[in-house]
Structure 1
Amino acid sequence: MNIHEYQAKALLAEYGVPIPIGNLAYSPEQATYRAIEIGGDSWLVKAQVHSGARGKAGGIKFCSKYDEVGKAADELLGAKLVTHQTGPEGKICYRLYVEAACNIERELYLAFVLDRARECITVIASVEGGMDIETLAEQRPESIFRFEVEPAVGLQTFQTREIAFALGLDKNQIRQMSQLLLGCYQAMTELDSSMLEINPLAVTKEGQLQALDAKMEFDDNALFRHPRVSELRDKSQEEVREMRAYDRGLSYVGLDGNIGCIINGAGLAMATMDMINYAGGAPANFLDIGGGASPERVVKAFQLVLSDESVEAILVNIFAGINRCDWIAEGVVLAMQKIDIKVPLIVRLSGTNVEKGRQVILDSGLPIILADSLFEAAEKSVNQCNKQTKIAKGES
């Protein structure tokens, strides 16, 4: 789960991370009032959308007069921001963050990421803040520093000093940096965050450190432990189908293909998508219905997959362990009876009660294509899609 910049800053401030003064606004009038509240002579009006590179897309505006704040807010509210992260569909801005501008001397990059391969948190830092880390890694990889944190002992003070030295901070800023890093690490571990990024981390002309931007991602599976964090979710920033799936306890990711997938288990889902590609097709989605899928849950999965108009065939691939093939088969039959499924349906069942499951499908008399192996299921799915394409083109 992602959260907005202002939400991440509020959380980090509780752990001692220094941030500029700012507040939220939902209208041009409120934005102007926020600037008056903050005081000073210059402000930043920032669109709050779940995407980086907002500045390049015109989502961050510098203002030196109150009327400029109101004008900037009027331009941003309701605007669609298109960045390389959002894709051409963009993100709509529904809220703004008005923040005091600061005197920047240097911009640094700082991130804490969960490195699953090394099974630890890695701190990534660079003296070149303000840039996308992907661009930086490609163009100037030597400017990026990495520091692994031993999970058994956590981030140590000597490591924070090493990071500060690598970033070229002076002796008066090393203590600040140490406290900031320890606060970030504590926030990440206590809140079950999978990624925390501050870009840029500014060194002001007054010699102070300020987190000018902040981004945090959280492990969905741990949100039950953090209801306060869970409430920060902004559904308006999420892909509609993925949001609907999450609300129904399903794991769904939309893709660009035309073969809809309904699978139980993330590993099997990945293998199925690979097999579809191997057979010459393209999956339309990743969908894991979980290990205890009831017939009603299977129906919800069908409705979700069919909400994608690009789907030309559906492949159901079930390996039943905790689950049972007859339950899944009942769900498939129920879905066919409840929903007007106009695309070919290919089903491969394996595992617990597989014979009962196949019999349920055969007894239904419905036009369901059965497959004995994963490759056969993928091949049949691709063939059915090819037939649909030829029919659409008027070919025999």
Structure 2
Amino acid sequence: MRLHEYQAKEVFADAGVPVPESRLATTVEEVVEAVADIGFPAAIKAQVHVGGRGKAGGIKIATDEDEARQYADEILGMDLKGYTVEKVLVEAGVDFENELYVGITMDRGEGEPVAMVSTEGGVDIESVAEETPEAIAREHIDPAFGFHPYQARKVVYDAGIPGDIAGDIASILSTLYDLYESKDASEIEINPVMITADREVVAADAVMNIDEDALFRQPELAEMEDEAAEDDLEAKANEYGFDYVRLSGNVGIIGNGAGLVMTTLDLVDHFGGEPANFLDIGGGAKAERVANALDMVFADENVDAVVFNIFGGITRGDEVAKGINEALEQFDEIPKQVVVRLAGTNAEEGMEILNTDLVEVEATLEDAVQQAVENAQEASQ
């Protein structure tokens, strides 16, 4: 479960991390009231689970009431990378001289959490990691012993943080790890930590992802789940019991089993496409469940084509084929081209059942993905 920025900042503030004064607003008038209380300049920030909000027009700095009203009207209701903005965070502007990055995540290669600090804050940290990895200092943490203060100081020193704020940054990093551990987080970061002219540190953004399987231990965070749900698709995924993650591409992906779906995502990228989602329908999926999955992917306006990748173990190919037929026969015109690859249990029977007037069938996963990518590219032209 990914918290919204305003939710994560509530958690951070309760733990002692300095954050700007802010208020949540859902209407233009609420924005105007908020900036009147907070003062100018004020940031008006779309609350959606996407990166690059600023570049996409989802963050504006208002210097007076007229600008606040104008920006609120522009941002509320806007389509931001496929998400409708229904609420904004109105936040006191920070006069900063520098931006840093701090975060805690799981290094799956090492099998340990890792603390990261960089002077390249305010930009996409994934790009920094790819283009200039030396700009990110890292310190692995043995969860059996915790994050020692000397480790926090070491990673801050390794990142080249100036001495007059190094202690504050180390303190924030230690607090983030305490939250990471105590709140069952899978990722927690601040990008950027802003440094003011008075050498104060302020968390200008907040990211916090929680392990959904641990929510029974986090009743306060569990109460945020409904508000953290991004849109109708995510709500529908919860209703259907699907493992679903919305992405930014246009190739819809449905599969059974997380590893199989991840492989499909990788192949879409390999063949020059961009995945629109991760959707795992699970094992033993019956026809109704398959139809629900197609209904979800079709409902995503970003999707231009769909690839259905099923390897039958518990899941039977003939049941999957029935579900695909049932879902597609409801339409007078198929909204997106669907490519199907079946293998494993009752795959041959499923191939015979599939209505090839409604779907394209490929014998191999590579062929299916390549065809879906081509379909998406043609549809988007």
Return the TM-score normalized by structure 2: 0.75
Matches within 5 A, 1:188-227: 188-223=180-215, 225-226=217-218, 227=222
Matched residue SS, 1:232: helix
1:33 and 2:33 correspond: yes
CA contact (8 A) 1:329 1:361 kept: yes
1:318 and 2:316 correspond: no
CA contact (8 A) 1:164 1:178 kept: yes
Whichever residue aligns with residue 310 of structure 2, its letter is N
CA contact (8 A) 1:161 1:174 kept: yes
Gaps of 5+ in 2: none
Corresponding residue for residue 248 of structure 1: 240
Change (3 A) 1:245 1:200: same
Corresponding residue for residue 292 of structure 2: 300
1:135, 1:277 → 2: CA distance?
17
**Which string of whole-angstrom CA distances, capped at 9 and with x for unpartnered residues, describes residues 132-177 of structure 1?**
3345446654433112222221211111222343444446x55544
1:7 and 2:7 correspond: yes
Corresponding residue for residue 97 of structure 1: 89
Corresponding residue for residue 230 of structure 1: 225
Change (3 A) 1:279 1:4: closer
1:129, 1:205 → 2: CA distance?
17
Matched residue SS, 1:77: helix
Corresponding residue for residue 46 of structure 1: 44
Corresponding residue for residue 16 of structure 2: 16
Matches within 5 A, 1:353-372: 354=346, 359=349
Post-superposition offset of 1:347: 5.6
Whichever residue aligns with residue 21 of structure 1, its letter is E
Post-superposition offset of 1:185: 0.9
Corresponding residue for residue 160 of structure 1: 152
Q: How large is the Cα RMSD of the aligned pairs?
A: 4.4
1:229, 1:127 → 2: CA distance?
32
Post-superposition offset of 1:245: 3.3
**Which string of whole-angstrom CA distances, capped at 9 and with x for unpartnered residues, describes residues 319-351 of structure 1?**
223x44554455445446656675677462413
1:55, 1:384 → 2: CA distance?
32
**Which string of whole-angstrom CA distances, capped at 9 and with x for unpartnered residues, describes residues 255-277 of structure 1?**
7566x654211222344566788
Corresponding residue for residue 350 of structure 1: 344
2:44, 2:234 → 1: CA distance?
26
Residues 145-154 or 93-102, more deviating: 93-102
Matches within 5 A, 1:174-189: 174-189=166-181
1:208, 1:341 → 2: CA distance?
59
CA contact (8 A) 2:243 2:281 kept: yes
Change (3 A) 1:9 1:381: closer
Matched residue SS, 1:199: strand
Change (3 A) 1:241 1:100: closer
1:131, 1:17 → 2: CA distance?
21
1:113 and 2:105 correspond: yes
Post-superposition offset of 1:74: 1.6
Post-superposition offset of 1:9: 0.9
CA contact (8 A) 2:361 2:368 kept: no
1:109, 1:332 → 2: CA distance?
46
Change (3 A) 1:36 1:254: closer
Change (3 A) 1:270 1:140: closer
Corresponding residue for residue 394 of structure 1: none
1:55, 1:370 → 2: CA distance?
40
2:258 to 260, 266, 276: 266
Corresponding residue for residue 121 of structure 2: 129
2:68 to 69, 73, 80: 73
Whichever residue aligns with residue 201 of structure 1, its letter is V
CA contact (8 A) 1:199 1:212 kept: yes
**Which string of whole-angstrom CA distances, capped at 9 and with x for unpartnered residues, describes residues 357-395 of structure 1?**
755875x695589999952x76478779999x99xxxxx
Post-superposition offset of 1:100: 3.1
CA contact (8 A) 1:349 1:372 kept: no
Post-superposition offset of 1:280: 10
Gaps of 5+ in 1: 391-396
1:275, 1:247 → 2: CA distance?
29
Question: Which of the two has higher C-alpha Rg?
Answer: 1
Matched residue SS, 2:151: helix
1:369, 1:42 → 2: CA distance?
57
1:170, 1:386 → 2: CA distance?
54
**Which string of whole-angstrom CA distances, capped at 9 and with x for unpartnered residues, describes residues 86-121 of structure 1?**
98x465543333333445354322122222222222
Change (3 A) 1:374 1:223: farther
1:273, 1:128 → 2: CA distance?
29
1:279, 1:210 → 2: CA distance?
42
2:32, 2:374 → 1: CA distance?
57
Post-superposition offset of 1:229: 3.7
Change (3 A) 1:211 1:281: closer
CA contact (8 A) 1:8 1:216 kept: yes
Post-superposition offset of 1:187: 1.5
1:21, 1:12 → 2: CA distance?
13
Post-superposition offset of 1:11: 0.9
Change (3 A) 1:193 1:71: farther
